[in-house]
């Protein structure tokens, strides 16, 4: 199985696929300066054993060292529901700042109530920087623009870097469609608006997705273009198809099971990838709410 792909350009993009969670991690670099960012790193987690490890995150650091890159940012596109974030681990290893969209505070407040976590700070202090919609910052000589892209989650953002956009779970590959919008705080209508904003980018913009589910058993892939998405996405994305899309999305989501790691992952990811603090016996514990409204099916 192909689990690595290189897409040269401005920026240079290396994608790393995790077959266990179907997630894609990225190392995005400026060829002129070798400055790079990590986007959506995965902390390995075996839910049957309750065991964590850093195999995938360490592979990102190995790639950065091998290519002579300098890590400038660790970025998450949203608080993930299908894998634990390795952002905090990578920050501790490298000292690079960690960023996410400002609306993560809304997600923190939502899940603080679901998990009954009275001590959880919900002001986003777990990250070094909270990005506003439209904010820009430098990655070497490249400019990064942040687009708030809600719908899949309240806090989802797209990072537009040069001729590439990292669209997290808003769009998948054209043969699989688009993201679900039924998580707490999700919205099919907001998702439609976010998709249309992405499809308004120049048609040759490279789009990099956060997952690939390999329909019909094909090999994993995670790069497309705006033009390909406009012309061939299996979901109705034409300008006159808003109502059709929202009805399709809501109907499809009603039949989807919740991700197997959702309740494990969110309590870590709303803490910026920090595991729960050790208890008096030195062990860490995850907390699973039972029969939570909007989650249990």
pLDDT score at 238 = 94
Q: Please give the Cα distance from 79 to 272 (Å, whole number).
A: 8
Rounded CA-CA distance 262/258 in Å is 7
Q: Which residue has the tokens 């273009």?
A: 225
What pLDDT was estimated at residue 297? Answer: 61
Query: What gap in Å lies between CA 169 and CA 29, rounded to an integer?
Result: 21
3-class DSSP state of 248: helix
Return the pLDDT at 292: 87
Map out the domains of the chain as residue ranges. Answer: 4-256
Give how far the C-alpha of residue 82 lies from the chain's centroid of Cα atoms, to the nearest Å. 9
What 3-state DSSP class applies to 178?
strand
The number of C-alpha atoms within 13 Å of 150 and in the hemisphere containing its C-beta is 16
**What's the confidence (pLDDT) of residue 295?**
84
Count CB neighbours of 296 within 10 A: 10
Q: pLDDT tens for residues 80-103?
A: 999 999 999 999 999 999 999 999
What do you get for the CA distance between the two ends of the chain, in Å? 33
Q: Is residue 139 packed enough to be buried (19+ CB in 10 Å), middle (13-18) or exposed (0-12)?
A: buried
Looking at 3.60.15.10, 3.40.50.300, 3.40.50.150, 3.10.20.30, the CATH number of the domain 4-256 comes to 3.60.15.10
* pLDDT (0 to 100) of residue 294: 78
On whether the CB atoms of residues 165 and 198 are closer than 8 A, the answer is yes
Q: What share of the chain is helix, strand, coil (3-state, %, to 5)?
A: 25, 25, 50
How many Å is the Cα radius of gyration of the chain? Answer: 18
CB-based contact 171:149 (threshold 8 Å): no
173-197 in b/e form (b: 16+ CB < 10 A) is: bbbbbbbbbbbbbbbbebbbebbee
**pLDDT for residue 2:** 86
State how far the Cα of 220 lies from the Cα of 261, in Å rounded to an integer: 21
pTM of the model: 0.97
Ranges of residues in the chain with a pLDDT under 50 are: none
Q: How far is CA 79 from the centre of its chain?
A: 7
> Could you tell me which residues are beta bridge partners of residue 75?
39, 99
Give me the pLDDT at residue 82, please: 95
State the pLDDT at residue 3: 96
């Amino acid at each position: 199985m192909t689990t690595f792909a290189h897409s040269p350009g401005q920026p240079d993009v290396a994608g790393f696929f995790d077959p266990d969670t179907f997630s894609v991690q990225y190392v995005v670099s400026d060829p002129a300066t070798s400055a790079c960012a990590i986007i959506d790193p995965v902390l390995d987690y075996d839910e049957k054993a309750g065991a964590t490890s850093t195999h995938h995150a360490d592979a990102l650091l190995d790639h950065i060292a091998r290519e002579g890159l300098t890590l400038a940012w660790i970025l998450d596109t949203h608080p993930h529901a299908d894998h634990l974030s390795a952002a905090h681990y990578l920050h501790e290893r490298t000292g690079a700042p960690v960023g996410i969209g400002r609306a993560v505070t809304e997600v923190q407040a939502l899940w603080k109530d679901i998990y009954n976590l009275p001590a959880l700070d919900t002001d986003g202090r777990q990250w070094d920087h909270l990005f506003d919609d439209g904010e820009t910052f430098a990655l070497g000589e490249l400019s990064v623009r942040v687009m708030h892209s809600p719908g899949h989650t309240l806090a989802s953002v797209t990072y537009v870097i040069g001729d590439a956009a990292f669209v997290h779970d808003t769009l998948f590959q054209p043969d699989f469609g688009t993201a679900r919008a039924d998580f707490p705080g999700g919205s099919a209508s907001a998702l439609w608006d976010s998709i249309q904003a992405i499809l308004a980018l120049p048609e040759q913009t490279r789009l990099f997705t956060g997952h690939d589910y390999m329909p019909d058993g094909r090999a994993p892939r995670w790069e497309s273009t705006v033009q390909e998405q406009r012309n061939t996405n299996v979901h109705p994305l034409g300008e006159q198809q808003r109502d059709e899309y929202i009805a399709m999305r809501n109907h499809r989501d009603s039949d989807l099971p919740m991700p197997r790691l959702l309740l494990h992952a969110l309590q870590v990811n709303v803490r910026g990838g920090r595991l729960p603090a050790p208890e008096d016996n030195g062990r860490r514990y995850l907390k699973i709410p039972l029969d939570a409204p909007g989650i249990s099916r």
